[in-house]
Amino acid sequence: MVRLVRRGAHRAGSQADHDRVIVAGLSMGGSLALALGAAEGRPDEIIVVNPALFVDSPFAPLLPVLRHVVRTIPSIGGDIAHPDRDECAYERTPVAPLATFHRALKTLRDDLWKVDRPVTAMISGEDNVVGPRTLRVLRSDLPQPPRIVALRRSRHVATLDFDAHTIAEAVLESARTGAAVPFPSETGE
């Protein structure tokens, strides 16, 4: 049985406090989940939704210099297909942290070979934030091929979009069973 609660509520949780640890993240959170998979004390399983492995902008190489010239840029938030959902994103994105993130993603891509745990990658068919080269890199650089779940009706912020139920089901099923099982978007049901 998978325990999803801490043993001993009096102390801070750690991986040692659980039978299994599953880390899941969307976009930058997916990047962080993969980075944990390459670090010491790896989680047992990683689930990523539209993970960012690149800052997909023609200006990305200029970020180290731009950070000293431009404080913020327009937000990339709001990439959702569902007409009744809103991400409530900030209107502007600070450039200095984006430059740091861009540099960290290079290190993450170089370290993907260390991610020796099962990875489920949930990828939207239309994503205006994360480009298709992220999936190509995941498929080529992880030591084990990731399990791919196609999110055909959602855009980047899929956790708030039409396929949110598919994401929730996949996470719950992984927590319950620890086994990769097909989901409706994989089987065509």
pLDDT tops 80 at residue 143 = yes
pLDDT tops 50 at residue 49 = yes
- For residue range 68-92, list pLDDT tens digits in order: 999 998 888 888 999 999 888 888 9
- Is residue 50 within 8 A of residue 123, CB to CB? The reply is yes
Catalytic residue, from 156, 161, 163, 185: name it.
156
| % pLDDT > 90, the chain | 64
Average pLDDT over every residue of 28-57:
94
Q: Give every CB contact of residue 129 below 8 A, 6+ residues apart in sequence.
A: 27, 50, 52, 56, 76, 79, 156
pLDDT tops 50 at residue 187 = no
Catalytic residue, from 79, 102, 124, 127: name it.
127
Q: In whole angstroms, what separates CA 59 from the centre of its chain? A: 22
β-strands 22-26, 45-49 pairing: parallel
| % pLDDT > 70, the chain | 84
Catalytic-residue membership of 127: yes
Average pLDDT over every residue of 129-156:
95
- Is residue 185 within 8 A of residue 150, CB to CB? The reply is yes
Catalytic-residue membership of 10: no
Picking from 48, 22, 75, 67, the residue whose alpha carbon sits closest to that of residue 137 is 48
pLDDT tier at 137 (50, 70, 90 boundaries)? Answer: very high
Min mean pLDDT across 38-42, 113-117, 146-150 is at 38-42
